[in-house]
Every structure is written in structure tokens, then in C-alpha cells.
Structure 1
Amino acid sequence: LVETLKMTHGNVSKAARTAKRNRTDFYKLMARHKLNAGMFKSQKQVSAAE
């Protein structure tokens, strides 16, 4: 889970596709493990989103 999110820089849709999982299920897994996509986004991506 963590490695997939790192590889996709926090892009949950891409991470779910890579893991061959449904995006909704991927979010549930993230919640279960207390992870959020922002933990894996680079500072540059976070600044651009704001």
C-alpha cells in the first residue's frame, strides 16, 4: 500500500489501478491503515494544489 502510493506520488486513482483494486476499496484500506494521499505528494504538488 505504502510503496504503491510512493510510486504514484499520492495519486490514489493511479495507485488503485496499479494495485488492481477499486479506488473506493483503496481509500478504505488507506483509512484502515491511517494513511492519506497527502503523505505521499511532493511539496511541489501540494503547493500547486493550493
Structure 2
Amino acid sequence: MVPGTGGKSAVSLEAPGEFGIRARMRSSYVDGSSGDTVNSTAHGAWRYFTFTK
């Protein structure tokens, strides 16, 4: 994953020629600079992917 700015990041899932792969990912925002990682951390919903031929 490549962290981005403006609410965007890039993810590369590489498995050329493969299929039947199940994966899940979610976005997370962790603000470590505030010193308060409990109240400023947020996680998005899990997104599920199945790679087919």
C-alpha cells in the first residue's frame, strides 16, 4: 500500500494468472502525532474481493 494524501491511497494486488483468491481490506486513519491513538483513530468497513478468471 502507498499512503496518500487527500483521503486516497493506492493498493497493488499482484498474482498474475491466479484466480479463486479471496481478499479483504479496509481503510484506517491513525493520527500518531496527537499522542492520542485511541480517540483519533478510525477504521472503515471491510471490503471483500474474489478474483475470478
Q: Same fold (TM over 0.5)?
A: no
Between structures 1 and 2, the one with greater helix share: 1
TM-score by length of 1: 0.24
After TM superposition, the score normalised by the length of structure 2 is 0.23
